[in-house]
Amino acid sequence: MKFIHIADTHLDSPFTTLNTKGSYGKIRRLDQREALKKIVEYIKENEIPYLFIAGDFYEHETIRNSTIQYVNNLFKTIPETKIFITPGNHDPYMKNSMYQNFNWNTNVKIFTSDLEVIENEEVDIYGIGFSNFYCTNLGIEDIEIKNKNKINILIVHGTLNGSENNPNEKNPISKAKLKGLGFDYIALGHIHKPDYNQEENQNIVYPGSTIAMGFDELGKHGFILGDIDKEKLDIKFIPIDDKEFKIIELDITNINDQEELIEKLNTLDLEENKLYEILLVGKRKFEIEILNLYKFITNSNLIKIKDQTKLAYSLEELKNDYTLKGIFVEEILEEMKSENYTEEELNKILEIGLSVLEK
């Protein structure tokens, strides 16, 4: 039996970070649609009978009716494929949710917060979803399989080996207890990094987010293709996202001013289908205003700049210099002992003051 397993599509995500650079937020929302379209085309071409969507399919706060209509129209083109969706913490099954307020195609099954078993000839599919944004325990570890002679699959959204005391971990599940339930495959969602074939006979799987959502999601993104029977499970990862987020470092130790830095940033050799975050490192000789830099960047796929540089001065040496610089540094070092300013504020004052005294 073949299936496709996806999760964390986050349709209509606001892409807040990307929106700081032109229309990239809108472009990525179009990429989300395109990725889903490619998955449906793959299902058609390969006659895949099952599609599992393990939560966070869309963003509850920003999802548009037109987007759900687009998705449902795609699902109508694969009427022979049974589609199962378990709501997650970003798309819970609530009174005002698209899961309740939209007339989904007949091949779509949406699970609620009550555990349900869908019995097919060759497979029993278990599912349970979130009913709010802060679900801490869906009771997964208490499930009892009805017929162990069939293929049994569980679809759920949650944090593997998470802590119930951590509010940021949604539906924490014990991996050991999950294994003990006896499912042949467990389709998870919530963690955006793929986790598959990391251990022998691994059948508890995260596909990761369908497309990368930001610079904390490096590497390839796509879906899991599975082929399962009672004796064997074969799974492989199929990349689907044409773009990839990358982080590279730029050492500015030998760059003398902001104008030279802008020129360097605009002449970086960046790959066309990748989106970049530049980490500025090394020792800086001038004040860096990140927001001001963005105004002059012409490299279209340079999305984010982060300053991790350090001052190119030895403060202890400057303190002992009998000049205005030395007096200024000594005053700043004294202020650091007080609680009048934060360390970040004092470093900024120090940097501006030293740059003025250099002139």
pLDDT of res. 288: 87
Sheet of strand 151-157: strand arrangement: 116-119, 123-127, 151-157, 185-189, 204-205
Report DSSP state, residue 102.
S
Neighbour-count burial of 315, counting CB atoms closer than 10 A to its CB (0-12 exposed, 13-18 middle, 19+ buried): middle
The residue among 133, 132, 11 whose CA lies nearest residue 66 is: 11
What are the tokens at 118?
């869908």
Q: How far apart are CA 290 and CA 292, in angstroms?
A: 5
CA dihedral 77, 79, 84, 87 (to 10 degrees): 40
SS3 75: helix
CA neighbours closer than 13 Å in the CB half-sphere of residue 168: 1
Q: What is the pLDDT of residue 316?
A: 63
Tokens of 193: 């990094």
The total of other beta-carbon atoms located within 10 Å of residue 253's CB is 12
Q: Decide the pairing of beta strands 116-119 and 123-127.
A: antiparallel
Contact 91, 99 (CB under 8 A): yes
* Segments making up each domain of the chain, as ranges: 2-239, 244-312, 313-359
Strands 244-251 and 222-228: what pairing? unpaired
Low-confidence ranges of the chain (pLDDT < 70): 17, 19-22, 162-169, 312-322, 336, 339, 341, 343-344, 346-348, 351-352, 354-359
pLDDT for residue 124: 97
CB distance 195 to 205 below 8 Å: yes
Write out the two tokens for 263.
Answer: 């020129």
The reported pLDDT for the residue numbered 13 is: 93
Q: What is the pLDDT of residues 36-57, one digit of tens each?
A: 999 999 999 999 999 999 999 9
Please give the pLDDT value at position 222. Answer: 97
CATH assignment of 2-239?
3.60.21.10
- One DSSP character per residue, 281-330 reads ESEESS---HHHHHTT---TTEEEEEE--EESS-HHHHHTSSSHHHHHHH
Provide the total of helices (H) and of strands (E) in the chain, helices listed first. Answer: 9, 18
